[in-house]
Amino acid sequence: MRLTTTRFGEIEIPDECVFQFADGVPGFPADRTFAFIPHGKDGESPFAYLQSANTPELTFLVADPFAFFADYEFSLPDDQAQALGFTEGNLPAVYVIVSIPDKAEDMTANLLAPVLLNWRDKTGCQVIAEKTAYTTKHRLFPQGLAREEQAEEKTHACAQP
């Protein structure tokens, strides 16, 4: 799929990296198709992007929450997991949306509403956790940044995490 974006310019996204969000994303119900774009070349970065296929300026920075919060957990009711196609053999890839204020070291993650990707079915959703102490503003780097972020690439490969 070829996308024109404000963040990456014009890019080609492999079909295996395109996800359908049946209900959109909260706050953006009309945007239902997103491209998963890993950050960096090596695929080892905990960061990635979800780029709307319909709205060039809509890009979410997401992160693997377990890379920053080893004890992060959430529960998904069995009926909801089944409806989303998740099973013991098809577990979701879990990401959280990251907000970047003026200083990168002050980045926060929304642990209250993880984004779940079903790599087998190419579907995704954002779920809001219930009965949890998590919030929408958990600092990723409470001790500050250890090194500068790498420059972003214009060409992207996609590999299932």
> Exposure pattern of 14-25 as b/e (b: 16+ CB <10 Å)?
eeebbbebeebb
Predicted pLDDT of residue 155: 46
Backbone angles phi, psi at 62, to 5 degrees: -125, 160
The angle subtended at Cα 42 by Cα 40 and Cα 43, nearest 5°, is 80
pTM above 0.75, yes or no: yes
Residue 151: inside a domain = no
Residue 103: inside a domain = yes
Could you report the per-residue pLDDT of 88-100, keeping only the tens digit for each? 999 999 999 999 9
What are 117's two structure tokens?
């990707």
Predicted pLDDT of residue 48: 96
Domain membership of residue 51 as a residue range: 2-139
Residue 156: inside a domain = no
CATH number of the domain bearing residue 43? 2.30.290.10
